[in-house]
């Protein structure tokens, strides 16, 4: 009986130590730990650090000027943190998926390792949803086992399904025309692009990069 009580007290003490360690781990993170790419909890929402610049303006107190992206809505914001200010760093899990199909506002994916399927709402997929075609490899970011965001490669390759012929005699180097891609997305391209051409598209800007042979 005495041994059981002692073991119980010892186990409880271990849990207390572990709890204090975890609290200490998060409370020790400060602005000096800011690096491009990390995720922090700012005003109750997850943000990815895009740029963190340490500034010391004359005799004023040093601070960090930080540019970051809200992972829920994609909005870019800037904030000034005091030097030494505490921050909460969050850890995300990334998994590889393959896009299968879209049904109404739901996008369906299959995990590459387990072959399990899941779906995401269009608010998580974001504006790049109309550049997804079946078979496209993507990464889905999870926070506490909940899907948070979707990331595509920097460039995707899509075929032109509809294109108006260029106006004869128009030789302007900067002239463009709209075309429809196989996913239904509409982008502007140079006048020489024709129906059936395969294009490399910048996923961040949705801009035409080049015509490719496939």
Indicate if 76 and 111 belong to the same structural domain: no
Indicate if 144 and 164 belong to the same structural domain: no
Domain CATH code at residue 204: 2.40.50.140
- DSSP letters for 69-114: EETTT--EEEEEEETT-B--EE--EEEEEEEEEEETTEEEEEETTT
Q: How many structural domains comprise the chain?
A: 3
Q: Which two tokens stand for residue 155?
A: 């460039």
Are 77 and 70 a contacting pair, CB within 8 Å? yes
End-of-domain residue from the set 151, 179, 194: 151
Indicate if 108 and 127 belong to the same structural domain: yes
Q: What pLDDT is attached to residue 28?
A: 52
End-of-domain residue from the set 105, 128, 151: 151
Q: Which two tokens stand for residue 78?
A: 């800037």
Indicate if 142 and 170 belong to the same structural domain: no
Indicate if 81 and 9 belong to the same structural domain: yes
Indicate if 125 and 168 belong to the same structural domain: no
End-of-domain residue from the set 51, 72, 90: 90
What confidence tens digit (pLDDT) does each residue in 181-211 have? 999 999 999 999 999 999 999 998 999 999 9
Residue ranges making up the domain that contains 55: 2-90
- DSSP letters for 103-170: ETTEEEEEETTT--EEEEEHHHHGGGGGG--TT-EEEEEEETTEEEEEE--SEEEEEEEEEPPPPTT-
Indicate if 50 and 64 belong to the same structural domain: yes
What is the H or E stretch that residue 22 is in? helix 2-27
Indicate if 160 and 207 belong to the same structural domain: yes
∠ Cα 66 93 102 (to 5°): 100
Are 68 and 50 a contacting pair, CB within 8 Å? yes
Are 120 and 106 a contacting pair, CB within 8 Å? yes
Sign of the alpha-carbon torsion through 123, 129, 130, 134: negative
∠ Cα 153 158 161 (to 5°): 160
Are 209 and 197 a contacting pair, CB within 8 Å? no
158-168 average pLDDT score: 86
| Phi (first) and psi of residue 92, to 5 degrees | -110, 155
Indicate if 39 and 71 belong to the same structural domain: yes
What confidence tens digit (pLDDT) does each residue in 107-152 have? 999 999 999 999 999 888 888 899 999 999 999 989 888 898 888 9
Domain CATH code at residue 74: 2.30.30.30
97-103 average pLDDT score: 96
| Phi (first) and psi of residue 56, to 5 degrees | -130, 90
Q: What percent of the chain has pLDDT over 70?
A: 83
Indicate if 63 and 140 belong to the same structural domain: no
């Amino acid at each position: 009986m005495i041994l059981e009580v002692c073991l119980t007290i010892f186990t409880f003490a271990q849990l207390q130590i572990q709890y204090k360690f975890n609290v200490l781990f998060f409370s020790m993170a400060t602005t000096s730990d800011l690096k491009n790419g990390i995720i922090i909890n700012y005003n109750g929402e997850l943000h990815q650090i895009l740029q963190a610049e340490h500034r010391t303006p004359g005799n004023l107190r040093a601070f960090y000027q930080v540019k970051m992206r809200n992972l829920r809505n994609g909005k870019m914001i800037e904030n000034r943190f005091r030097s030494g200010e505490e921050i909460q760093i969050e850890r995300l899990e990334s998994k590889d998926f393959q896009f299968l199909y879209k049904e109404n506002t739901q996008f369906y994916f299959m995990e590459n390792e387990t072959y399990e399927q899941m779906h995401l709402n269009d608010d998580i997929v974001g504006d790049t949803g109309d550049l997804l075609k079946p078979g496209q490899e993507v990464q889905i970011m999870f926070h506490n086992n909940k899907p948070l965001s979707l990331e595509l490669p920097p460039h995707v390759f899509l075929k032109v399904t509809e294109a108006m012929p260029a106006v004869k005699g128009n030789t302007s180097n900067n002239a463009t025309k709209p075309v429809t891609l196989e996913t239904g997305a509409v982008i502007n391209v140079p006048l020489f692009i024709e129906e059936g051409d395969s294009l490399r598209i910048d996923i961040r800007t949705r801009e035409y990069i080049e015509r490719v042979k496939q």
